[in-house]
Structure 1
Amino acid sequence: MSLSTTAAAPIAATPPVETPYIQQGTAEFARTSIALLCAGFATFALLYCVQPLLPAFSQEFGIGAAVSSLSLSLPSIALAFGTLIASSLSEAFGRKPLMVGAVFASSALTLASAFAPSWESFLVLRTLQGLALSGLPAAAMAYLAEEVHPRSIGLAMGLYISGNALGGMAGRVGVGLVSDHYSWHHAMGFMGVLGLISAVLFLVNLRPSRHFTPRPLNIGALAGGFATHLREPGLRVLFLEGFLIMGGLVTLYNYIGYRLLAPPLGLSQTLIGLIFTVYIVGIGSSTFVGALGDRLGRARLFWIALGIAILGLAVTLIPTVTAAVAGLAITTFGFFAAHSMASAWVGRRAIRAKAQASSLYLFSCYMGASVLGSTGGWLWSGWGWDGVVSLIAGGMLLAIGCAAWLSRLKPVPQPTV
């Protein structure tokens, strides 16, 4: 009797499970939005909270507007150069660990600056704070570009930029109120505590990266990645746009306080702090226009946002408080709408090494904030508000020309998701 053998049925291969992207309408998208909103909040709140205090620094330390602006220009320069290094660290060690460390460290340094005994020591702590904070922005933009579905990236980036606007508003209003009733030392301590709260919320809500593959630090590859991005014409122009947009926004808010304090307006520090609530306009514009850009195309809307910014600048020239507030709101709307679209645009044009592309964009943004922000102080001293507005408007006209050129570029092919 022979035994028959039965061939074993082949085992069907299990198809690989595709790691999902974060999409609008899901609970994960909501938690990611909350986390990045807190990150954006901390970035602008901790960096720009000194803007309403510039006149107070001038009075207490006996320094001019341009020297007082160093409390923002120096950390901006440190942040700009820090982003170039931080982007590479995030490629090696991961996005979330670097971002979490950045928010906690910068919050602690803000607390320390509240106890600074001299102008020089305050500037040192502010510079270190800018360097610590650099780990957040480039990694955040790269995280969104990697983890969020392309159809939702505009809205996600808009919400992140909204966090920037919310932080900018809360920082300016908070320190204005606290410093007027107590001192700038108390105001800085208040912002440090607020930063720590944001850091905890960020840590709890952000999921770890799922589409990120760590790469060992390689200086040659790093330089090659930067060179690749700088050779891409569209990215080069977007980097220039970041320089002009952020430089104009920071210059506007650096010196509007001096204008509002000076005759004929003559407002108090508390009222000036409250006027900075117009920053809330940036929260709405970045989210709304970011999502609109996903549907209608960024090239169609970008130059319009810049034109709105110029219109607002013209309104601020009218010597009334109403005109100053209205013009500030209009200009803020245009600046944040343009910044939101440019940020998302960089992520879409960079096919690889997205953190490096984001860091170059942010480097340009914060160098613009430093260079144009300090230049505005000399123009304020020599030509008053007219000189400041002329500087910003000139930059916006150049930005509109760049936007017209960008609108003629073909989109970069994207990987299928």
Structure 2
Amino acid sequence: MTLLQILAGTTGQLLSTAAVLTLLILITFMSVRLQRRYRKHRVYRLLNTALCFSLTHQALMLLITMYSGIFPAWLNLAAIVLQVLSFLIINFVVLELYTKPRRLDHFLFIAGLGVTIALTIFEVIWNPDLLVSGNEHVSRPLSLDIFAVVIVYMGLQFILPRIGQRRTYGAGVITYFTFLLVHAINHYLFQDAVAALTIVTFILPILYFTLLFILMFEWVIERLQSIYVSSITDGLTGLYNRQHFMKKAQQYISHGHTVTFLFCDLDHFKKLNDTHGHHYADGVLKQVATILANETDGIGTAGRYGGEELVAAIYDPRSKPELVAETIRARIESETPVTVSIGWSTAQKQISVQDVIHQADQAMYHSKTTGKNKVTAYKDLKQNVTSESKRAQLTEPTQPLSKLT
């Protein structure tokens, strides 16, 4: 007996089943952990159901292979039905993981379950040999094989364009279709007599469940990343939230950078809210945030401080803060229906981030109260205050000498 014949027989089936069972156990472990964490989500229960069907299918195939002729013939039919149901449910679960299914999606899913059951009953009535023969190769439910191909088509047509991980999902569905095609050719044309085709049908399920494992693993990573990003960013503007912006700015200073802070406040934003509504005002705020993010990209970072107040931290020594601030002001004036008042201040040694932001806030307030739509540096504001103080001292009237004596 050649190696090809050995791998095409019981040994190949056992190796394939063992590999698939290992992958299924790993996927099931992830799915159970997700269900425990998110008990309210029905999708994980569906996924666990599909995985149980797949595990049962593999267990039945293992028993049928090892103890051929002992178990009743209907177990082979049951294994095929479980395989189709599992594939159908897994496709629906993938859709639900990435998007909210529509009513049509739910209808097609329930209809698919019903069609699977109906075709099983039809096959039992039409082809009684499925329950009589103990030989797996005598007869297979052709209608279920055809319906599995229909599920493949539905997945590629209606699920693939609406989800993430399209390459992984698409590769998995095509792998499953290839398995169905090779299996059908080998079974219906050659009565399972071609060893090479049989080996391919052993390998393809391993590849399919490997891709399913990768898809699930990447989805978990995406979810963790999404949770982290949502915890550090503002939901409306996409900029860093106040807490993370302060943390990021402190990191710049800790690394020895000279950091300049810009404090931006939109002019007449409350009036915009009152006259055009919150939805329109939110859209304008997003526009401004995009401009701020674009102008600080590569030279610093930006965040939402609160309300219509946005902040930026610039650490690039080649960038001139006054030019960056003026560019931001000019772009907001020309590209949005609002203007902005900006103040900026550079962090000095032995001063906290909060204090520097407060200085930039004071400079912004000066811009706001002296005409709006302008940029003010805190150092200029401080110099003006000092100059005015000295001027006041010089112009203070002196007392007559007679009174002094």
Kindly indicate which of the two structures has a greater share of residues assigned to strand: 2
TM-score band, normalised by the shorter chain?
under 0.3
Q: Which has the higher relative contact order, 1 or 2, with Cα contacts under 8 A spaced 6 or more apart?
A: 1
Q: Bigger radius of gyration, 1 or 2?
A: 2
TM-score under structure 1 length normalisation: 0.26
TM-score under structure 2 length normalisation: 0.26
